[in-house]
Amino acid sequence: MAKTILIVDDSASLRQVVAIALKGAGYDVIEAGDGQEALGKLNGQKIHLIISDVNMPNMDGITFLKQVKQHPSYKFTPVIMLTTESQEAKKQEGQAAGAKAWVVKPFKPETMLAAVAKLILP
Amino acid sequence: MNDTGKREAQHQVPGVLRWGPLSYGVAVAVLLVSLGGGGAAALTAAVAAVGVAAIGAWRLGAAYRHGLTACAAIPAAEPAPTCKDGDALAAVCEEVLPIWARQVETARVQTEDAVLALTARFAALVERLDKAVEASRAAAGDAEGGDAGVADLFAQSRAELTTVVEVLRQALISRNTMLERVRELAGHVGALRRMAEEVAKIASQTNLLALNASIEAARAGDAGRGFAVVAGEVRTLSEQSGHTGQHIAGQVDAIGSAMQAALESAERVAAEDAQSVQAAEQTIGTVLERLERLAEGLSNSTHMLRHESDGIRTEIADILVSLQFQDRVSQILTQATGTVTQMTEQIRAWRAAGHDEAVLDREALLNAMLHTYTTHEQRVNHGVAASDKQDQDEITFF
């Protein structure tokens, strides 16, 4: 059975780009436009990995990440931050909040897939 | 021309020249995105046009800074523009800047929509490509866990047809065995005929013996009369035995002839069957060979299709990497729009406060800009980061 990945990004085109890469590798994909919407997707279904943008309206990626790490069902779900931010301070903020990896856009699909394969839950 | 002259010349530049590049840039961007049909070239041109717009904004920004400063403390040595000039410029900014912000936002949204449409079409292409390859692989029997394809069907057919040929060959062997039995039976017919001849011979000898006995009985006179009766009966029996022997020989001959005819017919049919089995075997072999070539051709086509598909997938992946520029462009434009809006609010507040210099907090505005940057380029443009570093495909594991 295919594993499920939640993509959180306010850019619909970027979500599409990530989704194409993941679906091509055999993963199922769920999409959300911001952190708030993404929290609504954590409704008990099995999610093997989360890929989240940092700068988003309504709820930013770091706040969403903190919420995920407090969620009883998803606190062990690995989270990859996918963002245009490359400042060290931001990365450290993501690491402190519980992110497993920090990928800077634009990314190459194979780079993303390698990170996903390394971190995704069995 | 000295500095004062330059400044005066700048103030004398007609408004349309000062603001023209922005209006022109945004208009061209919108037009290109609208007419470009979502093409990457159109998007690139649109971004370039927005860049021209930004140059216009920068020129106006310079005028804005100079104009507003005119109402603040100005060194007496410089005959700067009057406060009245600054207010007029601020009034223009108050009206123009929100329009620019909306124009830039419109260009951003349209570019985003166009890129979204492009990526959706690429996604559909990839999906259709995958389906075509999967269908081809299934047809060639190459599918992972899928239905049996040509290769499986071919292997199964060959096994079944080989079984059919083997069954025919076994039937032929059985028939030859039966023929051998019939030949043995024909041999027994000869023995039966010899036995019938023996019976006839014995009957003839018995008849001769009975005849001698009758003669001897006649010589004995009355004493041999009873014996003559017995000899006569023996003679009658020997004649009957002779007839039976001849009848048996006749029947054996008839059976023998019929058996020989059946044997010849069976041998002829067996020879024909052997030829038929051989011909069937050759035909099946030829058909299987053709099918095998067909299956091989199909399999080669599938491999080629898969290879080409992988190549196209790689190309599309590269295109998708390029399309990610939209996300960065969008963030840069959103931040610029936010700054323009914030600047407009400051000008509005400055005018409402009777040109109070304290309301115009340039440092606060610059700091706010620094805190809303999300890309390295923005910081480079602001002058707070080195331009030698590129944000690209960087991954950090924690």
The pLDDT tens digits for A41-63 are 998 899 999 999 999 999 999 99
pLDDT score of B326: 86
pTM of the predicted model, to two decimals?
0.60
User: Strands A4-8 and A28-32, how do they pair?
Assistant: parallel
* Phi and psi at residue B355, to the nearest 5°: 65, 35
| Closest CA–CA distance from residue B272 to any residue of chain A (Å) | 59
Please give the structure tokens belonging to residue B116: 């979204």
User: Is B376 within 8 Å of A86 when comparing Cβ atoms?
Assistant: yes
CA distance A49 to A101: 11
Residues of A whose CB is below 8 A from B396: 91, 101-103
Cis before A78 (ω within 30): no
What is the CA A33 to chain-centroid distance, rounded? Answer: 12
The percent of residues above 90 in pLDDT, for chain A, comes to 71
Cα dihedral angle (A71, A77, A81, A87), rounded to 10 degrees? 80
Phi-psi label, residue B386: left if phi above 0, alpha if psi -120 to 50, beta otherwise: beta
Asked if A82 contacts B324 with a C-beta cutoff of 8 angstroms, the reply is: no
How many angstroms separate the CA atoms of A99 and A102, rounded? 7
d(CA B325, CA B215): 142
From the CB of residue B334, how many other CB atoms can be counted at a distance below 10 Å? Answer: 18
Task: Tell me what pLDDT residue B83 has.
Answer: 59
Closest CB from B123, B321, B391 relative to A16? B123
Distance between CA atoms of residues B86 and B64, nearest Å: 8
Query: pLDDT tens string for chain B (398 positions)?
Result: 444 443 443 343 333 334 434 444 444 444 344 333 444 444 444 444 455 455 455 455 555 555 455 444 444 455 555 556 677 888 888 889 999 999 999 998 999 888 888 888 888 888 888 888 888 777 766 555 445 567 777 888 888 888 888 888 898 888 888 888 888 888 888 888 888 889 889 999 999 999 999 999 999 888 888 999 999 999 999 999 989 888 888 988 898 888 888 888 888 888 888 898 889 889 888 988 888 888 888 888 888 888 888 888 788 878 888 888 888 888 899 999 999 999 899 888 888 888 877 777 888 889 989 988 988 889 999 998 887 666 566 789 99
- Our CA-based measurement puts residue B55 at a distance from the nearest CA of chain A, in whole angstroms, of 24
Residue B380 sits at the chain A interface (C-beta within 8 Å) = no
Q: Whole-angstrom Cα distance, residue B366 to residue B209? A: 156
Cβ–Cβ < 8 Å for B395, A101: yes
* Strand arrangement of the beta sheet that strand A79-83 belongs to: A28-32, A4-8, A49-52, A79-83, A101-104, B394-397
